[in-house]
Chain A
């Protein structure tokens, strides 16, 4: 079952600009995670935000979580060509190690 839905499906921006991706989900969660996937490769964990947190930072990444709206956003500041990838959100529900994934946002950074 698909829980998260990312928006937009694709995003193309100039290097140096900020990129914002959104994720919406349907049921209550324990935590929400963001992953990056370079073309055809394995996913790499970026950041995890717990249900009782509202914002989290990691380097150029900023994640927000609004549990009342069941949504999260991932902001990448000062984008670089190396940020070109697909970004997925995944939600974990209570007492559960299972992750439910969205379909991803494809981000292209133009030099």
Chain B
């Protein structure tokens, strides 16, 4: 089944404790992206990647890191999480091409105490 998977789905952590949220897709998509979703703000892009070893900042990259060592994986790293990073996070992927829909993972709900 074609899908984007994220782990963990739920995470409660404390300020400053490094964490990684994994994202994997099995559709051979070149483009992958991380979003955060906060009430009333819609989705805001954190980072995106057009291909292996190519990553770029989105609208809200501060406090986050990403890597793209393999085509299928695009982990999101919070080196020192803070409470304002409490949010619902989504990974998405798509084939490169102007009219392509994005496929979303199920989301990771992160709480930073």
In the complex, which residue of chain A has the Cβ closest to the Cβ of B56? A98
Report the bound CA distance from A37 to B75 in whole Å.
Answer: 23
Tell yes or no: A1 within 8 A of B by CB. Answer: yes
With known contacts A2-B42, A30-B98, A45–B103 Cβ distance under 8 A: yes
Interface residues of B: mostly helix, strand, loop or mixed?
strand
Q: A2-B41, A88-B42, A103-B41 are in contact. Are A31 and B98 (CB under 8 A)?
A: yes
Contact with B along A64-108 (1 / 0, CB 8 A): 000000000000000000000000101010010111011110000
Task: Give a binary string over B68-99; 1 marks a CB under 8 Å from any A CB, 0 the rest.
Answer: 00000000000000000000101010101011
Interface residue ranges of A53-73 to B (CB < 8 Å): none
Q: Roughly how many angstroms separate A30 CA and B90 CA in the complex, as a whole number?
A: 24
**How many Å lie between the Cα of A55 and that of B31 in the bound state?**
28
A42 cross-chain contacts in B, Cβ below 8 A: 4, 90, 104-107
**Residues of chain B lying within 8 A (CB to CB) of residue A92:** 98
Q: List 27 A-B contacts (CB under 8 A).
A: A1-B59, A2-B41, A4-B42, A40-B107, A40-B109, A42-B4, A42-B90, A42-B104, A42-B107, A43-B92, A43-B102, A44-B104, A45-B103, A48-B99, A48-B101, A88-B43, A90-B43, A92-B98, A97-B50, A97-B94, A97-B98, A99-B102, A101-B43, A101-B44, A103-B41, A103-B42, A104-B42
Q: A2-B42, A48-B99 are in contact. List 6 more A-B contacts (CB 8 A).
A: A2-B41, A31-B98, A45-B103, A97-B50, A102-B42, A104-B42
In the A-B complex, the 7 residue pairs with the closest CB atoms: A42-B104, A45-B101, A101-B42, A101-B43, A103-B42, A43-B104, A42-B106
Residues on A lying within 8 angstroms of B by beta carbon are 1-2, 4, 30-31, 33, 40-45, 48, 50, 88, 90, 92, 95, 97-99, 101-104
